Structure 1
């Protein structure tokens, strides 16, 4: 067992590794000087934070808040929206270098964290150095750390959680250290780190699972120690529950409290949220509306299960079926959402002679049969036996807008109101139709089907709006509607003359209600990301990195997410060796061939436990992705890659234990040197450097590494011609000039 606390000479090593990592992560941080890959999304979200415009994202807010803090600190006003890849930062005076610096610094910190984790696992300093160098010189980790992305904060907090738990575990192995100040410090830091990693991305739950497995094993060991009384055992359990469950939850809630307090203005994410949520945003607050709904009321009708869905029609017809006017759900407020509720005619075809604004107000009750007149087009809501335009189920029928001048409709316009629910504080809303408070279904009288909508979108001819049909087998949640706005001439007159007309609006939502709704929407949107992407990949291909991602191609340069083959393949091999070793040991122990008990086998038990812990970390950060049907990319493997690099250090430490120190040093040095050489071979794709077609082609070790080799010139001298060609249109960026000079100088030295 090696000393846990690092020696004085190791501090110098640790500082040196940190400085090296900083240089690797921050070199040419301003290159490329334009939007790269998902900077479109996360940079755009920073802009929305600055403008306080609400947006919806599938990831929690912590990393984006860190990016926003860096941008705001350097004067970013949010006027640049990061709309497309390749859009120039310099022309818009965006402090993008400062924004990239935040993940770069956290990416730098991953190196010393790796060293401290290895030493806390009681690995030799040389093994810790090897693991740290592999982390530093991985091309994929470096690329992710240099851009406005979330993976670097995710990895930082994953590593911090792992280190904190290992240090706590080491304290917990000594009974005299239980409940000491340092014991509490590492336990609390573990809880805070877990809260942080989940607050960056939900895949941080895999880190929670890893620490959870370790904690359960700890408690199981404590349970078997008969010297610990039940009262003290209960204290161990409750302190862990408090620090590792309650504390992370509180931290997660705190991040969303900050998130929602900043995003208090209406924005592009409104349509994902319920109207009550939208009502809490500045600039999107609906005025009070009349509660009683009667014949002649002019209303907007919303679909309960589709938060952004207004019943809508417009002057465009279906290209199939009845060829009548389209009925859709539309997510935005629009005059085409306004319908008038009118009485059904008992004499079909005769003109409607009602003047609802002068007649006595007649409130609508449960069971009333009515028609809905679309005010802008004069068509009535209508259904018949035609097939819907998209859905093909036998039990669904088309819903259309039908009618013409001097025609009062027919029996297919009749819908019966069936009240489903009302407001708990308004008993009348369960029997009478009231705006906002009453939820109802609309049953087509002739066919018995219910007005229905679902997530199905209409094609281009329907402007991508949501399909509305009439469904005879409609599930309840997809056929419930309510009235959001309501006007009526009689109510307006009554209010002017006597007042006292009941008004209604959405009740203000508290933080917890908004938080719960936001989690539900994030989950639904995340699960809905099932469309294929040009660069998506499945988990089976990740450990060996058989497919990368083109992040940016411009000016005859490229940023491409490629893993360092030495790092990735060593990690995959270490995982395989570790799993086989653990399985072999388990079988040997079961057969009585090997024993792990007694002082003579402490060495074997030590490596078994740390290998099992790190393997579980790798497995829990990798295997769950096989259960996900959503769109996935190779960068989802990066947390598992981190654990595979730790396994590489563990395997090296274990395998080289019987070798002389000099031999160990030589093996580690050669491994690290090869990793560094390969890193520099692909550095042009990391830092957007000049490269040639020949170098690009020779670096394609696997056929699916689809570098844009055709974008690179045949030789470096051709870059001068390119810069001369564009000089008349725009000034060459200073850092590109410096890079060109540096490249030429390097070429001379090499020559």
Structure 2
């Protein structure tokens, strides 16, 4: 059984106050007076006046300057490893085809759509601007960069974010109170992680995402260490930087929400503890809450909002992403056809495109392909890209006089009008019947059926005006500004395009149904006319109508979410690059980033085996460590003081929670996944490994520590150098690199 002395010594050791157990060798022995037989020796006053000056060795000198020397050395190595021969491959590599193209859109100011927030892509555009690039290159995968594009600078700009992660990891380990050898170990593991090096060397968002994740963790750790110095300038500074980092990382990719959740959990625990402190005045507690709401909620959201404001401000020209946005937004883009010379008011015979007003809504669409089940009639969907299959004619219902295009008569369409919608390309009527929809079985199927003469009353749709942004007059439907619903005259259901995508037979387009639910607030049943031609009506210029920023912001974010959820694996296609969540922590697979022919400089996304396997094992060992101390505590052993408990809590438990928050979502989500999705989670696993090394070795002798850390340092560095060709580029036949193919799943060589 542990004695109180043993417990206090262990607590002292755990707190880091005495790393090598020197206190155990010191004794509090009172001074012994000289006996009568002993003669007191006279003091040498000269010696007493001259202090003994201990010679400082070279190593001691280095150690005293470690706080400057080590970060500088690590930073230099980080930039060297990330920048060395970064322009060796002159071809568009992997997802440079996407993010380089998005940078081009910013330089040409063309509106585009992507599932990620805009901050990272704005920085890609900035790198192109600084490189003198004009945005003319299409960034097709595998194409050679033209001479006028300084792609090397653009890659270096991205590599900067990855390189800075290394010194940030150093300071984070120090902020978590790791001893110096463990600090160096964590920093080396980040520096010598091959996948981090490789992913940082291309025009991608991942280096910025890693930077935001590491920076947020550092700021959180620094802020936590100042918890007893509340409301000091330094405390406020790190709280502000934590919020700023959260805003940045969430504006690069939504994966940043996971580290936001980590900070959120800590904040809840921290405020709960303060709430339980009955000595704390209510005003002080309220100030703590207000400070965290301001810096950890309002500030990050403001940064996120600002990234979209800049996004909209830069992209003022019509581009490939227009159809994802509301019609009013599109009408104000330069070069758009939406609303251009369109008559303001609709009449029978008008040729239109009809936009769904739900968030992420597309254009009402049909094509000659039929439903494989149900009615087997022509499919009706919603589609985000513009083509002739989006065009419809407003025609009178079958009880009214037929439309005569040669007549001068104008019959306006308004609230309560019952019309037919004729698909311009196929001449068939928009139709619904008692057959269940293909995906949403509670709704009715919507199809195209018959023609101008063949059909029935199930082709009739009644218009119900919801609102008009520029007029209270509901007697006429207006281009762009009038929101209306289409009610099926026979079934009483409403035309709806939600967020469900059809299978491959429907080209993954949005399912369009007729819903019995009569909910006037359901924006997925709201429609507006986007483009409009009618030779009988005079053109109007609706560009005067401005859309509201917040509405556009919300609309785009919902569209991003909808499109992201639609990125599911296609069972009909084999994706050789995709991988599954269980493969990542055990380094089961890598990823070929480009063509594997002999003339191409080849890059392979694979991690450092010790970093991956060691960090994954550390997660399990940490769990056993917590169980061990919990059982010992329950049995009455007091091995840990409060300092030791806090060290496990904040330097161990929170990194493990960070790993779970970044890893578990990819287990449950249905979207297609790749190895780089694990990289933020890997960072927290590395911190866990560093914690365990520090915990188990900090009380050992210097010799034991030197041997253990020496082996770890040498192995991490050695494996990094061994696998360096996959990061810096493999030139020539891939067979000469087969020595790195330890397993068949590591497809480094054929």
Same fold, TM-score > 0.5, yes or no:
yes
From 528, 553, 566, the equivalent of 1:515 is: 553
How many residues align? The count is 681
Q: CA deviation at 1:136?
A: 0.9
Distance across 1 between alignment mates of 2:291 and 2:491: 62
Q: CA deviation at 1:117?
A: 1.3
Q: CA deviation at 1:139?
A: 0.8
2:464 aligned residue:
419
From 543, 556, 570, the equivalent of 2:614 is: 570
1:98 aligned residue:
153
User: What pairs with 1:604-683 in structure 2 (closer than 5 Å)?
Assistant: 605-683=646-724
When structure 1 is superposed on structure 2, of 517-526 and 531-540 the one drifting more is: 531-540
Distance across 2 between alignment mates of 1:295 and 1:693: 66
- CA displacement 1:334-377 (0-9 Å, x = unmatched): 56655443334459xxx958467423x44345444433455676
Distance across 1 between alignment mates of 2:133 and 2:541: 43
Seen in structure 2, the aligned counterparts of structure 1 residues 464 and 194 have a Cα distance that, compared at 3 Å, is closer
Q: CA deviation at 1:540?
A: 2.5
Q: CA deviation at 1:622?
A: 2.0
Distance across 1 between alignment mates of 2:457 and 2:360: 28
Seen in structure 2, the aligned counterparts of structure 1 residues 60 and 663 have a Cα distance that, compared at 3 Å, is same
Aligned: 1:211 with 2:263: yes
2:339 aligned residue:
286
SS of 1:172's equivalent in the other structure is coil
SS of 2:473's equivalent in the other structure is helix
Seen in structure 2, the aligned counterparts of structure 1 residues 194 and 446 have a Cα distance that, compared at 3 Å, is closer
Distance across 2 between alignment mates of 1:561 and 1:634: 8
From 406, 412, 415, the equivalent of 1:363 is: 412
1:159 aligned residue:
214
SS of 1:54's equivalent in the other structure is coil
Distance across 2 between alignment mates of 1:220 and 1:371: 61
From 157, 162, 171, the equivalent of 2:226 is: 171
Seen in structure 2, the aligned counterparts of structure 1 residues 425 and 572 have a Cα distance that, compared at 3 Å, is same
From 400, 423, 426, the equivalent of 2:448 is: 400
Could you tell me whether the CA contact under 8 Å between 1:388 and 1:399 is conserved in 2? no
Distance across 1 between alignment mates of 2:371 and 2:649: 68
User: What pairs with 1:386-397 in structure 2 (closer than 5 Å)?
Assistant: 396=444
Seen in structure 2, the aligned counterparts of structure 1 residues 16 and 51 have a Cα distance that, compared at 3 Å, is same
From 429, 433, 449, the equivalent of 1:381 is: 429
Seen in structure 2, the aligned counterparts of structure 1 residues 127 and 317 have a Cα distance that, compared at 3 Å, is closer
Q: CA deviation at 1:73?
A: 1.0
2:286 aligned residue:
234
Could you tell me whether the CA contact under 8 Å between 1:289 and 1:505 is conserved in 2? no
Aligned: 1:195 with 2:247: yes
1:735 aligned residue:
none
Distance across 2 between alignment mates of 1:248 and 1:311: 37
1:743 aligned residue:
none
CA RMSD of aligned residues (A): 3.6
Q: CA deviation at 1:184?
A: 2.0
1:727 aligned residue:
none
Could you tell me whether the CA contact under 8 Å between 2:339 and 2:532 is conserved in 1? no
Could you tell me whether the CA contact under 8 Å between 1:452 and 1:474 is conserved in 2? no
From 556, 563, 585, the equivalent of 1:543 is: 585
Distance across 2 between alignment mates of 1:671 and 1:180: 40
Q: Runs of 5+ in structure 2 lacking a partner?
A: 1-14, 19-62
1:739 aligned residue:
none
- CA displacement 1:468-502 (0-9 Å, x = unmatched): 6767789976555433345556654xx9xxxxxx9
Could you tell me whether the CA contact under 8 Å between 2:464 and 2:487 is conserved in 1? no
Seen in structure 2, the aligned counterparts of structure 1 residues 618 and 442 have a Cα distance that, compared at 3 Å, is closer
Seen in structure 2, the aligned counterparts of structure 1 residues 657 and 695 have a Cα distance that, compared at 3 Å, is farther
Distance across 2 between alignment mates of 1:673 and 1:352: 86
Q: CA deviation at 1:644?
A: 1.4
Seen in structure 2, the aligned counterparts of structure 1 residues 358 and 656 have a Cα distance that, compared at 3 Å, is same
Q: Runs of 5+ in structure 1 lacking a partner?
A: 496-501, 711-751
**Highest RCO, 1 vs 2 (Cα 8 Å, sep ≥ 6):** 2
Distance across 1 between alignment mates of 2:592 and 2:73: 32
Distance across 2 between alignment mates of 1:199 and 1:92: 32
